[in-house]
């Protein structure tokens, strides 16, 4: 699982096994434009992710805690398979 954070926003990418494109947690931030994008810094580079996949940081923390206890997909919201 990969979690990227920018301020109080995050996006989560879950990989069930090697070579699977993964799942992304669907967005839960009503104040963001659903058709817009949010900028995240990833390994020193800036990139954007669609707001449809942006969640509050507290949800990312819940997912991280759940994943640390059990490596199955965390039950913190609805996921979209890539």
Q: Which of 10, 2, 1, 7 is nearest to 51 (CA)?
A: 10
Q: Where are the domains of the chain?
A: 1-28
Mean pLDDT by 10 residues, the chain (82 residues): 96 96 96 96 93 97 96 96 97
Q: What is the pLDDT of residue 80?
A: 98
Burial state string for 18-39 with b = 16 or more CB within 10 A and e = fewer than 16: eeeebbbbebebeebeeeeebe
Q: What is the pLDDT of residue 22?
A: 97
Residue with tokens 């991280």: 64
pTM of the model as a whole = 0.91
Q: What is the pLDDT of residue 66?
A: 96
Element (H, E) at 64: helix 57-69
Query: Rounded to 10 degrees, what is the CA torsion of 45, 46, 50, 55?
Result: 90
């Amino acid at each position: 699982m990969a979690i990227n954070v920018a301020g109080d926003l995050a996006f989560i990418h879950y990989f069930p096994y090697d070579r699977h494109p993964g799942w992304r947690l669907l967005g839960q931030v009503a104040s963001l434009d659903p058709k817009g994008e949010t900028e995240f810094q990833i390994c020193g580079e800036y990139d954007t992710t669609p707001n449809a996949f942006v969640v509050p940081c507290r949800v990312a923390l819940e997912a991280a805690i759940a994943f640390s206890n059990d490596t199955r997909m965390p039950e913190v919201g609805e996921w979209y398979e890539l």
